[in-house]
């Protein structure tokens, strides 16, 4: 809780970890060198950048040369989807649309974050590729049967997120990889692991994927930092041309302070993960059970056993999510609604729609996302304030 407020939007962004702040301080002041130079200041910056890359690589289970530092999860997703696609087609010219076998196919889960959905849509518009979306089951997991039906030898890129950002559902990454390898052997498999890092062993969970995206500010690193991990010989074509940094895969002067802070936050997250997961899962369950006992017509989305500890998604019958977000904010509680959009209009959640829910139900979803800073007092405040807000909206 911050002052008189309770923050339940850690899945949107998390507070900066003190370890990250301390690690970055020197690179905001005296250690300002450009790591691409040849003098002493540049060499010191280069050493710091290399050390940060080594740490991120080790914690994600890849080699240092298999990490591309980015400006965040969105750029990492775009580089994976569009840059990964270009790399696949560059090594397999027979997949060119002019080859006579029909356009190559890009495939993604319908529940993906907009960073992936829009990257796939932009790719289809730009290249003429066929875009296929895969529905979810009733618990918010990708439908493996639908995935198998959609995969064929023409598929060249598949993207399925590791953890859904709205529901917190953990996706069956190994099973997805097996389907893709069996049905679409020429495809590269990308997973957006942005929401997984605080709660799961991403190195192990995503070991069968070719491309893995993460974002620093989701686990206590600074905003504007992220990374794309490459596995199994996969590569990407650059989306940003210039000086050829990041081994030619992403040009631009590296954000040394950001990389150092992200690495420090990732190390702290991994070292404390087991204890954090156990504590936060208890807080989430207490919040869920307490609200269920106090609010009629409340439905918890997904099975707790298949969700990360930090996300509680609720559907509140008779309540429109956006109105609830506003009133809870006035009551000192920060939550989010999957229906929120940049224009301010209320739209059905595409994640809930992918599960086959109707538009009215898809407008009723509220996400409480907890993090390392969440306390018992935060839960107490939510249990006190949410029921009267629901009653007010229903009346």
Which residue numbers are catalytic?
A: 341
372: helix, coil or strand? coil
227: helix, coil or strand? strand
Give which of 209, 119, 194 is closest to 164, Cα–Cα: 194
The first and second tokens of residue 354, run together, are 């992918």
Give which of 202, 201, 220, 198 is closest to 211, Cα–Cα: 202
Separation between Cα atoms, residue 276 and residue 72, nearest integer Å = 24
Separation between Cα atoms, residue 36 and residue 153, nearest integer Å = 42
Beta strands in the chain (DSSP E): 6-7, 67-70, 105-109, 130-134, 155-159, 188-192, 211-215, 226-230, 298-300, 311-316, 333-334, 336-337, 365-369
Give which of 372, 354, 363, 249 is closest to 310, Cα–Cα: 372
Give which of 228, 261, 264, 238 is closest to 70, Cα–Cα: 228
| Pairing verdict, β 130-134 and 311-316 | unpaired
Separation between Cα atoms, residue 110 and residue 353, nearest integer Å = 9
The first and second tokens of residue 297, run together, are 């017509």
Buried b / exposed e over 365-380, threshold 16 CB at 10 Å, is: bbbbbbbbebeeebbe
44: helix, coil or strand? helix
Separation between Cα atoms, residue 338 and residue 365, nearest integer Å = 6
């Amino acid at each position: 809780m911050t002052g008189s407020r309770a923050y339940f939007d850690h899945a949107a962004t998390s507070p900066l970890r003190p370890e990250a702040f301390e690690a970055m301080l020197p690179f905001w002041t005296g250690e300002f060198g450009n790591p691409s130079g040849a003098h002493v200041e540049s060499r010191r910056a280069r050493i710091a950048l290399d050390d940060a890359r080594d740490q991120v690589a080790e914690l994600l289970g890849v080699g240092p040369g298999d990490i591309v530092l980015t400006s965040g999860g969105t750029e990492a997703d775009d580089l994976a989807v569009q840059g990964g696609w270009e790399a696949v087609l560059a090594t397999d010219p027979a997949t060119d649309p002019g080859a006579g076998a029909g356009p190559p196919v890009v495939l993604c889960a319908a529940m993906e974050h907009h960073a992936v959905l829009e990257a796939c849509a932009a790719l289809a518009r730009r290249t003429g590729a066929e875009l296929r979306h895969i529905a979810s089951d009733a618990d918010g997991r990708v439908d493996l049967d639908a995935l198998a039906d959609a995969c064929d030898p023409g598929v060249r890129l598949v993207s399925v997120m590791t953890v859904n950002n709205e529901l917190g559902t953990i996706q069956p990454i190994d099973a997805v990889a097996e389907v893709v390898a069996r049905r679409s052997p020429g495809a590269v498999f990308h997973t957006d692991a942005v929401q997984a890092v605080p709660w799961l062993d991403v190195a192990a969970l995503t070991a069968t994927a070719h491309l893995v995206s993460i974002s620093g500010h989701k686990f206590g690193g600074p905003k504007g930092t992220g990374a794309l991990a490459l596995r199994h010989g996969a590569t990407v074509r650059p989306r940003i041309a210039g000086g050829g940094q990041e081994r030619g895969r992403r040009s631009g002067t590296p954000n040394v302070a950001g990389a150092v802070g992200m690495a420090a936050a990732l190390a702290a997250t991994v070292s404390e993960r087991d204890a954090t997961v156990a504590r936060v899962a208890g807080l989430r369950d207490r919040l869920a059970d307490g609200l269920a006992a106090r609010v009629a017509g409340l439905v918890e989305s997904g099975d707790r056993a298949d969700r990360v500890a930090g996300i509680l998604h609720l559907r509140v019958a008779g309540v429109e999510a956006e109105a609830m977000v506003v009133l809870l904010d006035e009551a000192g509680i920060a939550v989010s609604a999957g229906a929120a959009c940049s224009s301010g209009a209320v739209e059905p959640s595409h994640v809930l729609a992918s599960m086959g829910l109707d538009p009215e139900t898809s407008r009723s979803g509220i996400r409480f996302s907890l993090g390392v800073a969440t306390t018992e007092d935060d839960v107490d405040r939510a249990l006190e304030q949410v029921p009267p807000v629901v009653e007010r909206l229903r009346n």
